[in-house]
Structure 1
Amino acid sequence: MSVIACRAALMGATLFALAACASNGGHAMADTPRPAREAPLAGPVPARQSTAFTLGTDQPRAPEQLAVIFDKADLSIKVIPDDRAIDAVAVLDFTATAPVERLVVELDTILTVSEVDVDGVPVPPDRWSNPEGRMSVELGRTLAAGETARLRIAYSGRPRVAPHAPWDGGFVWATAPSGEPWIATAVQPEGCDIFWPCIDHPLAEPGRVDLHITVPSNLSAPSNGKFLGTVDHGDGWTTWNWSAANPNTYAIALNIGPYAEVSADYRSRFGNVVPMSYWHLRSDDPAKVAALFAQFAPMMDFYEATVGPYPFGDEKMGVVETPYLGMEHQTINAYGNEYKLDGRGFDWLLHHELSHEWFGNQLTNRNADDMWLHEGLGSYMQPLYDRWLHGDRFMEASLLDQRRGLINKFPVVSGEEKSEDEVYQSDRGPGLDIYNKGSLIAHSLRLLIGDEAFFRSVTRLVYGTATPRPGEFQPRYGTTDEFLSIVHEETGQDLTWFFQGYLYQAALPDLRQTRAGGELVLEWVTGNGGVFPMPVEVEVDGRRRTVSMDGGRGRIAAPPGAHVLIDPDNKVLRRLDFIEEWKAAGNHAQPLP
């Protein structure tokens, strides 16, 4: 949510942690009747285990990987439910940007490679190797800058079974309530190399991925991008064909099951028409299916009004029901919330994963250290949607839930290159704070600079322009520094102090206050001791004034006996003693009954 959301809190965590993280705030989700389904089947462990290298993602790229452009991947994958195995052929096209003598990709070593060839010429086994999951193939010549090469790899085997999808990922082999196989992949924490050969790094997205997914003919296989039709082979197997442009590597997803499809066109406020599809289990309650699908268009309209055009309108807005909670998979988001209601008037999981089409798929962070751009801005969309649907009370309730979930042990942004594990695991990095704290920082920034500057800044970050039009932009990479530069341009102010005080410090800014001699004296104290001139509204006996806080200090008249209320609208994210005391007491960590 990346429902990787909360991995740190959720690896064996309480149900409370799951609800709090996943709902961006801890709304209890009422159970609704649903046909029983079997839990995902664990199955026997493969004889070989994935290496530590494979189980990590966004590792530093090899020099040979830095010297090529990944033009296209053509993946033919037969999924064999009875064996919990795959039989696959990957054809990968590269263009050299500098001289290179070998092609290097990642592929899990528990999969057996049977054939390798380059440009149609077989490569003997002594000229390729895959010892730890980084596969190196000698070209037998030097590929000059501008030249292309086609690498073909045939492989098969039993891919890694997800111990706890989506937080600890791999394949999920489950059984639908009606008895058929129900299979899905979720590999964000581990990367694309779990089941297809790729360059497992966010900056190495292929220009296009074509998918040919062969499954038993009584099952369907919705996937990324445009649907190119099926081929029934007449032997009990059918191939589903898809094509996706510029996908995130971990977002390539296999989804196989007894699905039915409901579809409609969304007429965008930008003039184009976007096909919407939801693949659900045929055994689902039709009324619940219809109610969920009815949410698609309003959510799309909200995001288009708030951020900009749906980024993949020439392909589809797609959702597929999965036997695990969820994950953002470009144009085929995983949905496993079982139609649960939580009193907000919309499905939080559907809404959050849809946010990642903008924050994650259209805009991709250059490094995991900037992951808050995905998760924080994406999480802020939910309080904004609460207001869009129901008004300020619901937005404030959502923000309060996020506020109670803050950890404040590590900075949201360190300023150093980080792996996903170093960011998502709360014993090593910010963990849930990239969601909740990132959202609250975005809220404080919006209230500081105003809606026009804030939303123009977000739109520019996502599209590279303040006036995006369908078909006139491409997916892009972004950083926190770039966002700061955009905000500077939009406001004409240097807000480095804001970013430094919130993002680069673990501790929240602390507003110290003393009251004497008919005055209230205020002073900001930050984690790095830097000046933090955040203005503060103060209400004295019902009358409000804004204290400018030049140099991080300010004062206001407050006669003895007057009632003083600091920041009455809760515009400013800051340390609050009563929340710290509540957390220290531990009462917030009790599991749901």
Structure 2
Amino acid sequence: MKLKVVFCFVLAAIVAFPLAAKTPKLKANYDILSYQISLKVLPQSKRIEGQNIIQIVALKSLTKIELDLFPQLSITGVNFGNGNLPVQRDSNSFIISFPKSLKKGDTVSFAVNYVGMPIIAKKAPWDGGFVWDKDSDGKPWIGLACEGLGASCWLPCKDQWNDEPNWVKVKVIVPQGLIGVSNGKLVGQLKRPDGFSEFDWYVSSPINHYNISINVANYEHIEDVYLNAKGERLSLNYYVLAKNFVVAKTHFQQVKRMLQTFEGYFGLYPFYEDGYKLVETPYWGMEHQSCVAYGNNYENNKFGFDFIIVHESGHEWFANSLTASDKADMWIHESFTTYSEALYVEKQFGSPRAIQYLEGQKGNIKNKLPMIGPRDINYERPDNDLYYKGTWILHTMRSILDNDTLWFNTLKDLNQHFYHQTITSKQVEDFLIKRTGYDFGTFFKQYLYVAELPEVQYFMIEKNGLNELHYRLNAKEKRLKLPVKVTLGKEKFDFLVFDNKWRIYDLPYTNSADFLVDQKHFLLKVKQIEKN
């Protein structure tokens, strides 16, 4: 598929700044409770002026904490009570000291004021930062994407995936004539006498730092409503460029099909309180929570759907509600979401079409690195196996279970069990094993922690006019027992369990070419070898 090939090629170019704490203890000693952000966006000078009121809770006694902010932005003061807190800057981070020790359980708020010219993205969303563009009428069109780079490229924060604020307020201040859009629901707006307008947004759910979004343009607003199977209402809001208002009203109708499909597979959309939103951006797309960035030019792919709407919205379940606590476990985000694309195709167009979709992705799998990466280093992969290999791992798990009722109930329960949580791969693995009742332990060790695929090896010996099948599994994980469907009868697939020992099965047909391994439903290599 052309669209996916482009995605594969460019995504590998992501470059991230290291966000590891200079003094990890100073970050481990507290949790973020909330942010109240005020951001003035100045398009002409490509500058921002901001304040973040940060509320924290001490997890143990402390006098100092560490936060993150890129050096392109200057801190003009940290307000605390009636005074200011001392600040010590160190590259991408800074340390603030409190006038007296905080005890475990103490909560405090302080305001970090800052100004400057944030990093400009060279090719968002793969290369992070602000995007300062103009629409066809020459008016400012501004976006932000910072998943790889980190939210501290524009916001003073604790820039770690394992600590999300419980709620966030965002005030976007823009020149009059423009609209500022962020996450959650619009709770107020004001035209100021100084030529600027304010737009106040409230996010009632926990949110990952990189998902906090800033969008500015001369937007037109489209309102709609989705009614779920229970009759509950979800507000749909679309902010689009004026020239695209008419086409957007029609094109975005597929949002309802997407929501209906994903709610059927994964459970209710995770952010009913905050609504669902698409915002037209000057870059391809991003899964900003309740504020999905859309820049796909209102085009469907050859499978009949808009890839950005389906993929980025799938992240609302896998990335935004269920969030990896470390980038090493990003398969939780990308594998499940890429798999959601195939499930969307299956629901809308049937199983054979979904298999075609999956097979179109298979050629992008590299098998050069394990799916799980090193921890605590802001890990970035040079390939896209998190997407394509990951979706095939999940497709293989479904095929092994051979019980769709069990499989899809498991996916729903996974979302319910870890609703609005930051989690590890190990937690997901353990849950899937327990919920399905199938011991995927060695399967995960092979497919997530080893780069190479297992290989089915076999040879035939003709005996008494029939074929004696000799078979085994060659895998790094020696304990792996892999059930795979093969043609045990002519043109009839059934399960055969492969392990690391040579075993024999008598095939009831004469033509060895009739032996097939089902590679449409199982991710593995197959090799016919010469008999000894």
TM-score by length of 2: 0.92
Change (3 A) 1:167 1:550: closer
Match 2:522 to one of 572, 580, 589: 572
1:534–1:552: 8 Å Cα contact kept in structure 2? no
Which amino acid is 2:417 matched to? G
Conserved 8 A contact 1:57-1:189:
no
- Of 168, 179, 189, the match for 2:138: 179
Q: Which amino acid aligns with 2:285?
A: G
- Counterpart of 1:406 in structure 2 is 365
The reply on whether 1:115 has 2:77 as its aligned counterpart is yes
Q: When the two structures are aligned, how many residues end up with a matched partner?
A: 517
Indicate how the Cα distance of structure 1 residues 296 and 109 shifts in structure 2: closer, same or farther if over 3 A, else same: same
Shift of 1:20: 4.8
Residues 462 and 476 in structure 1, CA contact (< 8 A), matched pair in contact too: no
1:158-198 per-position Cα deviation (integer Å, ceiling 9, x unaligned): 11111221111100000111210000111111111111110
CA distance in 2 between counterparts of 1:285 and 1:22 reads 29
Is the 2:443–2:480 Cα contact (8 Å) retained in structure 1? no
Q: Per chain length, whose mean CA-contact separation is higher, i.e. which structure has more relative contact order (CA < 8 Å, sep 6+)?
A: 1
Distance of 2:87 and 2:281 partners within structure 1: 36
- Paired residue for 1:333? 292
Q: Can you give the 5+ residue segments of structure 2 that lack an aligned partner in the other structure? A: none
Per-residue deviation at 1:131?
2.2
Pairwise CA distance, 1:110: 1.2
1:427-464 per-residue CA deviation (whole Å, 9 max, x = no partner) reads xxxx3001100100000101111223322332233221
The RMSD of aligned alpha carbons is 2.3
Corresponding residue of 1:49: none
Q: Give the share of equivalent positions with the same residue, in percent.
A: 26
TM-aligned CA deviation for residue 555 of structure 1: 3.5
Larger strand percent: 2
Matched, 1:515 2:460: yes
Q: 1:492 aligns with which of 437, 445, 462?
A: 437
1:233-248 aligned within 5 A = 233-244=192-203, 245-248=205-208
| Aligned match of 1:461 | 414
Distance 1:319 1:223, change over 3 A: same
Amino acid at match of 1:179: G
1:131 maps to 2:90: yes
| Amino acid paired to 2:521 | K
Query: Could you tell me how far 1:568 is from its partner in structure 2?
Result: 3.9
Partner of residue 535, structure 1:
484
Name the residue aligned to 2:497. 548
Give the residue type in structure 2 aligned to 1:565: F
1:468 is matched with none
Q: Does 1:445 align with 2:397?
A: yes
Q: Which residue of 1 aligns with 2:114?
A: 155
Match of 1:269 in 2: 229
User: For each residue in 1:262-288, what CA deviation from the matched residue of structure 2 results, as whole angstroms up to 9, or x when unmatched?
Assistant: 1111112244211011111011261x2
Name whichever of 265-274 and 304-313 sits farther off. Answer: 265-274
Contiguous gaps of at least 5 residues in structure 1 = 1-13, 24-51, 466-473, 579-593
1:137 partner SS: strand
Contact 2:287 2:312 (8 Å CA) reproduced: yes
Out of 316, 321, 325, the position equivalent to 1:357 is: 316
| Other-structure match for 1:425 | 381
What is the identity, as a one-letter code, of the residue corresponding to 1:507?
E
Mapped contact 2:33–2:166 kept (Cα < 8 A)? yes
Matched residue SS, 2:269: coil
Relative distance call for 1:116 and 1:281 in structure 2 (3 A) is same
- Could you say what secondary structure the match of 1:91 adopts? strand
C-alpha displacement at 1:535, in angstroms? 3.3
Match of residue 305, structure 1, among 251, 264, 268: 264
**Secondary structure in 1 aligned to 2:222?**
strand
Q: Does the 8 Å contact 2:326/2:375 carry over to 1? A: yes
Question: What is the letter of the counterpart of residue 486 of structure 1?
Answer: F
The one-letter amino acid of 1:476's match is Q
Q: Which residue of 2 aligns with 1:8?
A: none
Q: Which stretch of the first structure deviates more once superposed, 513-522 or 353-362?
A: 513-522
What's the secondary structure of 2:438's corresponding residue? coil
Which residue of the other structure, out of 246, 250, 253, is the alignment partner of 2:210? Answer: 250
Residue 103 of structure 2 corresponds to 144
Letter in 1 for 2:381: Q
Give, in angstroms, the shift of residue 529 of structure 1: 3.6
Offset of 1:79 from its aligned partner? 0.3
Q: Which amino acid aligns with 1:525?
A: N
My pick for the range that moved more, 149-158 or 327-336, is 149-158
What SS is found at the alignment partner of 1:234?
coil
Could you tell me which of 269, 289, 292 is aligned with 2:251?
292
Q: Deviations over 1:239-270 (max 9, x none)?
A: 00001131111100100001111111111224
After TM superposition, the structure 1 = structure 2 runs for residues 53-132 of structure 1, keeping only pairs within 5 Å, are 55-57=17-19, 62-123=24-85, 127-132=86-91
Give the AA of the match of 1:462: N
Residue 15 (structure 1) shift: 8.5
Q: What's the offset of the Cα at 1:393?
A: 2.4
Q: Distance between the aligned counterparts of 1:59 and 1:338, measured in 2? A: 39
- The normalised TM-score by structure 1 is 0.83
Q: How far apart are 1:481 and its partner, in Å?
A: 2.0
